[in-house]
């Protein structure tokens, strides 16, 4: 019997997503790579390696993880490289995307020298563009909003691309549909179309939630094939994050206490939204709890759920149950793998959930347990 709290990842669900993504890639001709910012649970990467998955990295640590655990060079993008970091990026990257023309011009010679050196390899350089077109409603996750620090807008593009730029990269979506991508591609063609025939690749970023129920993968395939038909010179790349691990894992917690104040009943759980489910507070959104009713039902039992931390705002609500909740009851917070395990923290020294993998044969494998040393050594 596992002690709570713990994240549980289901191999069967993970493989189902990987099968779907592989099929979309085959049918569309686009390369689909995984964004580490959504999933860095490297102990599951042997499964990903079976599918030949490559990755995108936005930091040196993510890049090194690609080399060490996926055994592949990374597609790297960083808002700003430095003299101290660019060398490491070159050694571990097949592609390097620059956020500005000035950044590319600053490091272009070093990349050419590395690519030509006996111990080097070819690095395909790209430029991040910003089409200023997005359907993302949450500002914290909108990379194309006014004043965004990401990418070059059309009015800031040079008339002639610098020598050595082989591709463009844009990111405009977040858990979006293929019809949203269609709108963004129209903006890209309208603003940057004159450059596209001169490039080798186009990276369409992330946010393509093709594994969500109801997503029209047929439309996505047609959209990509049609776009590729107009620009046969382009190798198309998508780098979703959530899609790879969408609904592949849950967070299992226990009720520690139930308190009441001003007529509001609050469950205190042995997890924390601030520490273990931060997107619930950042977006914000209310996660599904399996043991709760799917809708509010008059006359039933209504509770907030609060974390076992000292942060006043560490709560979300409300949920309705068909029975009084008591200490010891289990709470299952659904879909807590993507953008969750990568964003946890140890604020307040709250016990970090363990991470387990449920294999297809039913065996449960402990991937990681956390203890006092993990908390202490962060400051060592």
Residues whose CB falls within 8 Å of the CB of residue 196, separated by 6 or more in sequence, listed in order: 168, 189, 202, 231, 234
**Residue among 240, 244, 309 at smallest CA distance from 75:** 240
What's the average model confidence in pLDDT over 226-240?
98
Please report whether residue 271 resides in a domain. yes
Convert the pLDDT of each residue in 299-319 to its tens digit: 999 999 999 999 999 999 999
Confidence of residue 337 (pLDDT cuts 50, 70, 90): very high
Do both 225 and 274 map to the same domain?
A: no
- What is the domain range of residue 280? 249-336+344-377
Do both 184 and 228 map to the same domain?
A: yes
User: Three-state DSSP class for 224?
Assistant: helix
Strands 354-358 and 6-10: parallel
Convert the pLDDT of each residue in 260-272 to its tens digit: 999 999 999 999 9
Confidence of residue 1 (pLDDT cuts 50, 70, 90): confident
Share of the chain above pLDDT 90, in %: 96
Residue ending a domain, among 245, 270, 287, is 245
Do both 170 and 301 map to the same domain?
A: no
Backbone angles phi, psi at 209, to 5 degrees: -85, 65
User: Residue 213 half-sphere exposure, CB side, CA atoms within 13 Å?
Assistant: 2
Residue ending a domain, among 224, 245, 266, is 245
Do both 237 and 307 map to the same domain?
A: no
Number of domains observed in the structure of the chain: 2
Do both 272 and 213 map to the same domain?
A: no
**Residue among 21, 50, 20, 16 at smallest CA distance from 35:** 21
Confidence of residue 296 (pLDDT cuts 50, 70, 90): confident
Convert the pLDDT of each residue in 165-191 to its tens digit: 999 999 999 999 999 999 999 999 999
User: Three-state DSSP class for 162?
Assistant: coil
Reply yes or no: is the peptide bond before residue 284 cis, omega within 30 of 0: yes
Please report whether residue 26 resides in a domain. yes
Convert the pLDDT of each residue in 49-91 to its tens digit: 999 999 999 999 999 999 999 999 999 999 999 999 999 999 9
Residue ending a domain, among 197, 221, 245, is 245
Q: Which of 24-38, 127-141, 355-369 has the lowest mean pLDDT?
A: 127-141
Domain containing residue 253: CATH number: 2.40.37.10
Distance, in Å, from the CA atom of 343 to the CA atom of 341, rounded to the nearest integer, reads: 6
Do both 81 and 98 map to the same domain?
A: yes
Q: According to the model, what pLDDT value does residue 357 have?
A: 98
Share of the chain above pLDDT 70, in %: 100
Do both 222 and 263 map to the same domain?
A: no
Do both 80 and 216 map to the same domain?
A: yes
Do both 150 and 85 map to the same domain?
A: yes
Please report whether residue 278 resides in a domain. yes
């Amino acid at each position: 019997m596992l002690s709570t709290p713990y994240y549980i990842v289901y191999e069967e669900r993970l493989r189902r997503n990987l099968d779907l993504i592989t099929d979309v890639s085959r049918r569309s001709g686009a390369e689909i790579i995984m964004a580490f910012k959504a999933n860095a649970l490297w102990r599951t990467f042997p499964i990903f390696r079976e599918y030949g998955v490559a990755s995108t990295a936005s930091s040196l640590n993510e890049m090194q993880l690609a080399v060490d655990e996926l055994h592949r060079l990374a597609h790297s993008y960083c808002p700003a490289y430095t003299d101290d970091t660019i060398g490491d990026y070159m050694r571990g990257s097949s592609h390097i995307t620059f956020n500005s023309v000035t950044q590319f011009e600053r490091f272009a010679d070093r990349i050419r020298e590395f690519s030509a050196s006996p111990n080097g390899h070819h690095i395909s350089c790209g430029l991040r563009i910003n089409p200023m077109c997005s359907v993302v409603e949450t500002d914290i996750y909108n990379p194309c909003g006014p004043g965004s620090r990401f990418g070059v807008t059309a009015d800031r593009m040079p008339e002639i691309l610098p020598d050595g730029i082989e591709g463009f990269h844009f990111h405009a979506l977040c858990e979006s549909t293929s019809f949203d991508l269609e709108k963004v591609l129209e903006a890209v063609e309208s603003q940057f179309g004159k450059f596209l025939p001169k490039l080798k690749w186009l990276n369409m970023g992330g946010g393509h939630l093709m594994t969500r129920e109801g997503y029209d993968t047929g439309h996505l395939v047609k959209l990509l094939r049609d776009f590729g038909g107009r620009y046969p010179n382009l190798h198309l790349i998508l780098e979703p994050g959530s899609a790879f691990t969408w609904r592949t894992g849950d967070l299992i917690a226990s009720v520690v206490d139930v308190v009441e104040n001003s007529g509001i009943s609050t469950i205190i759980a042995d997890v924390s939204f601030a520490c273990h489910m931060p997107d619930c507070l950042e977006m914000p959104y209310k996660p599904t709890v399996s043991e709760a009713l799917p809708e509010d039902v008059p006359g039933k039992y209504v509770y907030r759920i609060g974390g076992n931390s000292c942060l006043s705002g560490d709560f979300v609500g409300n949920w309705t149950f068909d029975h009084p909740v008591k200490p010891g009851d289990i709470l299952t917070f659904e879909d807590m793998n993507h953008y969750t395990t990568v964003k946890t923290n140890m604020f307040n020294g709250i016990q970090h959930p363990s991470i387990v993998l449920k294999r297809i044969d039913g065996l449960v494998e402990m991937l990681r347990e956390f203890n006092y040393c993990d908390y202490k050594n962060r400051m060592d």
